[in-house]
Amino acid sequence: MRWFRNRRKPEEQAPVEAAAPTPEAPEPVTPEPASEAGEQPTRPKRRRGSRGGKGRSRKATDAGPERKEKDGARAAGATSTAAAKPPRQRERTQTRRRREPPKPRPLPSAKRELLISVDVGEQRVAVLEDDRVAEVYLERPERRSIAGNIYLGTVDNVLPGMEAAFIEIGLEKNGFLYVDEIVTPELEGKRHGRKIQDLISRGQTIMVQAVKDPMKTKGARLTTEISLPGRFLVLVPNGEGQGVSRRLDDDERLRLKDILKKIAPKDAGVIVRTAAEGASAEDIERDLVFLQKLWKSIQQRAKEAKPPELIYQEAELPLRVTRDLFTDNFERAIVDNDQAFKRITGYLKKTSPHMVERVVRYKEKQALMDAFGVDAEIKSTLKRRVDLPSGGYLV
């Protein structure tokens, strides 16, 4: 049997009409001459490299509408299937899709203590959590911050091009007051689009509060929007409305808003601090009364003062930290100075009488910070070697 076949010569081959390419014959289609086909020459089909160089056939192109109909039928079927689910199953599916991320679990409460040490050259405050140092504050008399101080100043110069003014407040450098920091009850809500020359003039007496300390060649940043921070509230004498800290959860915010509606003054703004969480209505009202009396004393001193003059100085570090940090989650505050002890207890009697008994006077011979290991822990943190609880260390 012959295992090969004879090939015809090109001139003996019979003309065969061009047929559509099939998957078994991936040979490229060549255009026929116009004289043989009787039609205009067609463009060669482009190869597609993704699937063996096969071009799209007419069958695939013609099947486009059918595929769209099938896809539409599938989508309709999926919709009808979802609609055909029982109501309870449908609600469960929607609930799973709208599921909120889990809320973080509250951390276990730690044993917290406040250590207050007052020396001639410096004042130090340390916060202990489970007998470990968590925070340390330091203040020296020569570097005491002026942020929060209130001055009766005089307008020294008005700069319309900068929309600012320089205020003489009795310091080495004049303070800087920007136009948007000029706030009065008449101008409340109209901070933008104003001209500073229309608001103040040179030589005018003005009450301002320091917002930022002086830095190098720049003077202190000032504002006329006075704010007096208290233990649970911040009183804004020239402001309006009430606000509650957003760090609190919704239920606590609603409770504090209800308290504010009953006690908030109509001629001033009040902001509830985060420290007010869990505070009673009596404590909050007591704090508000204290701040209102403080503001009246500042106004009285401003009437008697001659500008430029300091009419209110922000509290020192021990009292300031007690006001801002010493809340119900502290077990005690230990103070090693008689004068600081009297100031702290006197302030707490006016704002939080139930916290007075937690303030303890330290009378031991050993220094307070040494007795509780604060100085040793600070020194260890400054070393290159850090010891780990497991017994290892890092360098």
pLDDT in tens, 306-321: 999 999 999 999 999 9
State whether 185 and 239 are in the same domain: no
Inter-axis angle of helices 338-351 and 317-325, nearest 10:
30
- Residue 372 maps to which CATH number? 3.30.420.60
Whether 95 maps to a domain, the answer reads no
Domain that residue 150 falls in: 145-225
Q: Are residues 154 and 220 in the same domain?
A: yes
Annotate 13-56 with DSSP letters as a single string: SPP-------TT--PPP-PPPHHHHSSPPPPPPPP-GGGTTPPP
Per-position DSSP letters for 192-231, written without gaps between them:
SS--GGGT--TT-EEEEEEEE--BTTB--EEES---EE-S
Domain shared by 167 and 199, yes or no = yes
Cβ 178 vs Cβ 161: under 8 Å: no
Q: For the residues of 270-338, what is the DSSP string, one character each?
A: EEE-GGGTT--HHHHHHHHHHHHHHHHHHHHHHHH--SSEEEE-PPPHHHHHHHHH--TT--EEEE--H
Residue 260, domain member (yes or no): yes
What is the reported pLDDT for 1? 47
Asked if residue 59 belongs to a domain, the reply is: no
pLDDT band of 39, cuts 50, 70, 90 = very low
The pLDDT value recorded for residue 23 is 47
CA pair distance 387, 383, nearest whole angstrom: 10
Q: Please indicate, yes or no, whether residues 217 and 288 belong to a single structural domain of this protein.
A: no
Looking at the structure of the chain, the number of domains it has is: 3
Looking at the fold, whether 375 and 327 belong to one and the same domain comes out as yes
286 and 250 within one domain: yes
pLDDT of 390: 87
Any idea what the CATH number is for the domain that residue 184 is in? 2.40.50.140
Instruction: Identify the domain boundary among 301, 326, 342.
Output: 301
- Residue range 113-169, pLDDT digits in tens: 999 999 988 999 999 999 999 999 999 988 889 999 999 999 999 999 999 999 999
Of 237, 272, 301, the domain-final residue: 301
The span from the CA of 262 to the CA of 243, in Å, is 14
CATH number where 251 lies: 3.30.230.10
Same domain, 189 and 235: no
Q: Please tell me whether residues 149 and 221 are part of one structural domain.
A: yes
9, pLDDT greater than 60: no
| pLDDT-derived band at 366, boundaries 50, 70, 90 | very high
Interval 351-364 mean pLDDT: 94
173-186 average pLDDT score: 86
**pTM, 2 dp:** 0.69
* Structure confidence at residue 61 as a pLDDT band (50, 70, 90): very low
| Shared domain check, 172 and 189 | yes
Residue 350: count of CB within 10 angstroms of its CB: 14
- Say yes or no: 328 and 376 in one domain: yes
Do 269 and 236 fall into the same domain? Answer: yes
Phi-psi region of 376 (alpha: psi -120 to 50; beta: other; left: phi over 0): alpha
CB neighbourhood size of 335 (10 A): 25
Last residue of a domain, one of 164, 190, 225: 225
Answer whether residue 32 is part of any domain. Answer: no
Residues 285 and 348 in one domain: no
Quick check: is 46 in a domain? no
